[in-house]
Amino acid sequence: MEPKALAEKAVEILDKKKALQLRLLHIAEVTTLADYFVLATGTSSTHVQSLADEVEFQLKELGVQPGHTEGSRGNGWILLDYGSVVVHVFTPESRSFYDLDRLWKDGEEVDISSLLVEESGS
């Protein structure tokens, strides 16, 4: 799977599981670590674990497995490393503390609005 398609699929999975503050950053021009970072926030450590589990499960169904994972229940930050795409799922406190949004501000923000499910009613 191409890096951009993989990153976009991760965004769609996270959105359907109600992740907050979803961002997709194209970072290939600023680092050799990966081509894309997916950043997402869960409402609690349980939600963070659920989000990460769902990404891992659904991408595995497509034949894609992470080369490396870090973090676990209660850590507040789970990282799924797919080589060219790294998915970061945080609790609100961990996202604020590690502030990857600021650290990677030189990356190009990818417009994900067409990937997100619109909420109805409210």
Cβ–Cβ under 8 Å, residues 45 and 75: yes
Per-residue pLDDT band for 104 (boundaries 50, 70, 90) equals very high
What is the structure's pLDDT at 73? Answer: 61
Per-residue pLDDT band for 75 (boundaries 50, 70, 90) equals confident
Cβ–Cβ under 8 Å, residues 119 and 72: no
Cβ–Cβ under 8 Å, residues 69 and 79: yes
Per-residue pLDDT band for 122 (boundaries 50, 70, 90) equals very low
Six-digit token string for 92: 């609100």
Mind listing the domains of the chain with CATH numbers? 3-113 (3.30.460.10)
Per-residue pLDDT band for 121 (boundaries 50, 70, 90) equals very low
Report whether pLDDT(56) > 70: yes
Per-residue pLDDT band for 35 (boundaries 50, 70, 90) equals very high
What is the structure's pLDDT at 120? Answer: 47
Average pLDDT, the chain: 93
Characterize the bridge pairing of strands 85-90 and 36-41.
parallel
Report whether pLDDT(74) > 80: no
Report whether pLDDT(81) > 70: yes
Cβ–Cβ under 8 Å, residues 59 and 87: no
